[in-house]
Structure 1
Amino acid sequence: MAAMAFVSGLCAFQLTRNVLMNPDVRINKAHRTMAVLENAEEGEKYSQHSFRKFLSHRRPEVMPALNRLFSDTNNN
């Protein structure tokens, strides 16, 4: 039950985020009439959010401490 509630919450969060923040979703009628939106800045802001900027400066490791433990050559 808890797993289904968690997954349902994630789905609701993602759908809400896309409807409210995605630059490709056109809710108001003025934006729907245009074939191509000139919103490069808005798209850049949407795709390069703060969490992605935070992760871009990190090494792609799942367990950094464990990786250092096994890869450190000075640890005899």
Structure 2
Amino acid sequence: MASSKWLRPEVYPLFAAVGVAIGICGFQLVRNICINPEVRVSKETRAAGVLENFAEGEKYAEHAIRKFARNRSPEIMPAINSFFTDPSRS
């Protein structure tokens, strides 16, 4: 009886949105713990102090998504935007 009160079909999109947000947060947490050069989990690497390893930091910052989006226009739908804003189409 109580489950039908809380699990209505109207709340499924909310569950999906919250699930996606938790997934993104979890992915970023795991990414930072595993490959961020400034995060040191083991005792041996923490004892090293501040490392100036710029190549590792550059590799972390310049990931594949950033390289993919670097030379693209910051538009969600560029074809539709150019259709409505290009004066030569009139």
Question: Shorter-normalised TM-score: what interval?
Answer: 0.7 to 0.9
Superimposed CA distance per residue, residues 22-60 of structure 1 (whole angstroms, 9 cap, x where no aligned partner): 111001222211221132111100000111011111112
1:12 equivalenced with 2:30 (yes/no): no
Query: In structure 2, what is the Cα distance between the partners aligned to 1:74 and 1:5?
Result: 44
Larger Rg: 2
**Aligned positions, number:** 76
Residue in 2 aligned with 1:30?
44
1:68 equivalenced with 2:82 (yes/no): yes
1:41 equivalenced with 2:59 (yes/no): no
Point out where structure 1 has 5 or more consecutive residues left out of the alignment: none
Q: Which has the higher helix share?
A: 2
Query: In structure 2, what is the Cα distance between the partners aligned to 1:34 and 1:23?
Result: 12
Query: In structure 1, what is the Cα distance between the partners aligned to 2:19 and 2:84?
Result: 38
Q: With the length of structure 2 as denominator, give the TM-score of the two structures.
A: 0.74
Q: Where has structure 1 moved over 6 Å in runs of 4 or more?
A: none
Identical counterparts, % of pairs: 49
